[in-house]
Structure 1
Amino acid sequence: MHAGRLRLLECSAAGLAAQVFTARDAIAKDSIEDLRVAYILLDSAIETLMVRRVSARLIHGDLDPEPRSWFYRERDRIAIDLHDPSQRSRMEGSDERDDFDVTEFVYWRLSKTQLSDIERDFTSKLQFLAWLGDLDEDLVSVVSRLHEYRNEMYHREKTRPEALRALVHLYAWLTAEFMERLRPAWMGYGSDADEVRRGIYRRIGIQEPPERPTGFFDEDLQGMMASELRRSLDLEDAAEVFAAYVTSRVTSFHDALEFVGDYLATIDRSVERISEMDVVRRIFSKEFMGNLKDLRRERVSLTRSMISRWDGWSLEITSQVDALRAFAALAEFEREFEPFETEVQESAAEVDREIQLQIDIARGK
């Protein structure tokens, strides 16, 4: 193999080490600012690993919608369904068949849209790698959600400080998992790469082996980096942290409803006592022009049973067997809760502005 290509692989490992272990050092500082930097670096490392594996898988063009090789153009090829991660194993061979040792060879193809999405979109890369069998299906939704957190941090400066430490440690654990699952097909060294190799070990903070490996497979840099990264992680209380975070958000949700209810009590006397569901119906029945008493006959998208389920969701999180499943339960909660949370927060903000306006008017401003 050409020495330049081998050195490129070493430089790729060096770049990955720079991201991962700069993140590790930031995690050790344990401030909100450093944890935010670490999170963004870990997200970048995971995408780097995925880009490298995806590029290696697509390099021959056999999955292209219009393959370059006549060999693939003349085959009947089956469309890949990225939302069906079991499609490949199901069609290429099933243990349920009598002759399960015999595997059918299937020629696959991606559409132009799929190919474009895989090249540009984070979640599409996850789906493609899960379809290939390189990643577990369960990781797709979890890592995709963690990437959304990164976008919120980077573009909106939303950091979730109550849960950030546990989130960063979980993302670091997943980065180590990706380093082990998405290893390069080969690794070697060019004649001019000694300093690059030494730099990798210095950055990791461990002693460089006295002997340089002689073969392509004699040194597992990525596996070693994964092991070293895991040494600095603590996920023991992650489930409790995520549960407390959910409890805090649900409590704030109830507080916002109470705040709006106190205001409604000053302007609507149609009912003797305003309940939380009266407030919910007023917020989510914006087209209804009647009073609260009449509104009680209306049905809205947010129900009492949904709120009750959110009240108990923290127990669902703490019942999970590990941090990954605990976060999956948190992500499921957020998918259901956040649209309603946003509406309630916006209503509370509107009420606050109205109260402030009335105060300013009373003061003659």
Structure 2
Amino acid sequence: MQQLERTTVQLWEARRLAKYNDVPHGRLALLLLDNAAEIVLRRSSSAMMYSVDLHEGLLRQLDGIETAEAQELRAELEPKTLTKKERRAIDREFNALVDFVFGDEACSMDADLASCLKILHRYRNAAYHRDLVNTDVLSSAIQIYFYLCCKLLKNQRFWIDQIDAAPPAILEIFGEHPPRGSWPTGAFSSRELGNLVADWFLVEMKVDHVQIAAVLSDHLAARIDALEKNLDEIADYFPPLARPQALRLVQLAPKDPEEAAQGAPADFWTRPLPVTTDVLDGWKAEALKIRKMSTAHSALVAFADIESHVAGIEEPTEALIEQIDREVQMEIDLRRGK
């Protein structure tokens, strides 16, 4: 119950911060939600580890026994155990933790939710470690993360389902009409109370799947438009280039002084490249399709798939634009005698 109380207070604070609907408070809400998701995942993981330990213990008892029955039992038990490397990854890496929990046979959550957790954790890392926030999609990310935290809470695995009175901090969120547990004296089981808390937050946050899909679609389409505008600016600076050639220049631009000293590659104009103008058009078409998706988490998965490719070409394009801007400014300064 104490663990659930801490998670409930954390979600309550994330909700309070999200209501400011600005970047400084929204960033903190995202950090709190990411931590809440990881904590609930780790509780499920700990409960699942009891079963893993049991199977590993049974497997050790078969050491030295080479009967047909023992080999058959060993083949059945081994897939239910973990190597030291796998345990270490689950303990240290968020993605491995997600895969472990969602890979359990008893897990009924959609695989798309696992992908969303990894995507949002990546956004959290950018916000936490480098203070980078996609302001246009922050509100949508918070709504989706609330939805995911509630789903995790409702599907949490328990080794022992505790039965006790609800802590005051949990009852407080329900206001004047707190629920009564199904056990004698109104006590709750951890699972029962966790489900009630998750359901309350799902209703309170009112996840707008249609709006989120629209926001993600518009954000991505706008970034592709900005990318094409930058490519046209590069083409204008290096006439007679057009957008296709500017896109080639961006992808084959030297990455360091040593590479620049070697000059342009011999197959500069013929080398097949991953991103062409047709690919850009395809990204834009896919971005517009996101608007028609009916669930926020499926929209986020589609968004992240395209966004990762867009980001990969945005970085060298923006770097070349900055270089052009510096050269233009230097030319202006020289003409002014600076």
Does residue 318 of structure 1 match 2:291? yes
Q: Equivalent residue for 1:199?
A: 169
Q: CA deviation at 1:300?
A: 2.9
Q: Which residue among 307, 323, 336 is the counterpart of 1:350? A: 323
Using the size of structure 2 for normalisation, the TM-score is: 0.83
Q: Name the SS for the 1:30 alignment partner.
A: coil
Instruction: Provide the rounded CA distance (Å) in 1 between the counterparts of 2:20 and 2:264.
Output: 56
Instruction: Provide the rounded CA distance (Å) in 1 between the counterparts of 2:8 and 2:28.
Output: 15
Q: CA deviation at 1:203?
A: 4.0
Q: CA deviation at 1:359?
A: 2.4
Does the CA contact (< 8 Å) of 1:243 and 1:315 recur in 2?
Answer: yes
Q: 1:363 to 1:75 in 2, by over 3 A?
A: farther
Q: Equivalent residue for 2:92?
A: 120
Q: CA deviation at 1:279?
A: 0.7
Q: Which residue among 171, 179, 183 is the counterpart of 2:145? A: 171
Whichever residue aligns with residue 337 of structure 1, its letter is V
Q: Which range moved further: 217-226 or 294-303? A: 294-303
Instruction: Provide the rounded CA distance (Å) in 2 between the counterparts of 1:216 and 1:229.
Output: 18
Q: CA deviation at 1:263?
A: 1.7
Q: CA deviation at 1:297?
A: 4.3
Q: 1:15 to 1:362 in 2, by over 3 A?
A: same
Deviations 1:50-97 (Å, cap 9, x if unpaired)? 111111221466279xx5x4x331348xxxxxxxxxxxxxxx9xxxxx
Does residue 73 of structure 1 match 2:68? no
Q: Name the SS for the 1:157 alignment partner.
A: coil
Q: CA deviation at 1:205?
A: 3.8
After the TM superposition, which segments of 4 or more aligned residues of structure 1 sit over 4 Å from their partners? 209-213, 287-291, 294-298
Using the size of structure 1 for normalisation, the TM-score is: 0.77
Q: Name the SS for the 1:339 alignment partner.
A: helix
Instruction: Provide the rounded CA distance (Å) in 2 between the counterparts of 1:42 and 1:290.
Output: 48
Q: Equivalent residue for 2:113?
A: 139
Instruction: Provide the rounded CA distance (Å) in 2 between the counterparts of 1:254 and 1:211.
Output: 58
Q: CA deviation at 1:245?
A: 0.5
Instruction: Provide the rounded CA distance (Å) in 1 between the counterparts of 2:180 and 2:295.
Output: 38
Q: CA deviation at 1:171?
A: 0.9
Does residue 285 of structure 1 match 2:255? no
Q: Equivalent residue for 1:247?
A: 221
Q: Which range moved further: 106-115 or 55-64? A: 55-64
Q: Name the SS for the 2:163 alignment partner.
A: coil
Deviations 1:309-341 (Å, cap 9, x if unpaired)? 122122221232211111111011023222112
Does the CA contact (< 8 Å) of 1:130 and 1:137 recur in 2?
Answer: yes
Does the CA contact (< 8 Å) of 2:26 and 2:138 recur in 1?
Answer: yes
Q: 1:177 to 1:290 in 2, by over 3 A?
A: closer
Q: 1:246 to 1:363 in 2, by over 3 A?
A: same
Q: Which residue among 83, 101, 123 is the counterpart of 1:129? A: 101
- Equivalent residue runs for 1:1-365 within 5 Å: 10-59=1-50, 62=53, 67=56, 69=57, 71-75=58-62, 106-107=77-78, 108-133=80-105, 134=107, 135-184=109-158, 185-189=160-164, 197-205=167-175, 207-209=177-179, 213-214=183-184, 217=189, 220-231=192-203, 232-235=205-208, 236-265=210-239, 271=240, 274-286=241-253, 289=263, 296-365=269-338
Unaligned runs of 5+ in 2: 64-72, 255-261
Does the CA contact (< 8 Å) of 1:43 and 1:150 recur in 2?
Answer: yes
Unaligned runs of 5+ in 1: 1-9, 77-91, 93-103, 266-270
Instruction: Provide the rounded CA distance (Å) in 1 between the counterparts of 2:279 and 2:191.
Output: 53
Instruction: Provide the rounded CA distance (Å) in 2 between the counterparts of 1:205 and 1:350.
Output: 58
Instruction: Provide the rounded CA distance (Å) in 2 between the counterparts of 1:13 and 1:59.
Output: 20
Instruction: Provide the rounded CA distance (Å) in 2 between the counterparts of 1:28 and 1:283.
Output: 41
Q: CA deviation at 1:219?
A: 7.1
Q: CA deviation at 1:199?
A: 1.9
Does the CA contact (< 8 Å) of 1:26 and 1:37 recur in 2?
Answer: yes
Q: 1:219 to 1:170 in 2, by over 3 A?
A: closer
Q: 1:62 to 1:297 in 2, by over 3 A?
A: closer
In terms of fraction of residues, the more helix-rich structure is 2
Q: CA deviation at 1:144?
A: 0.4
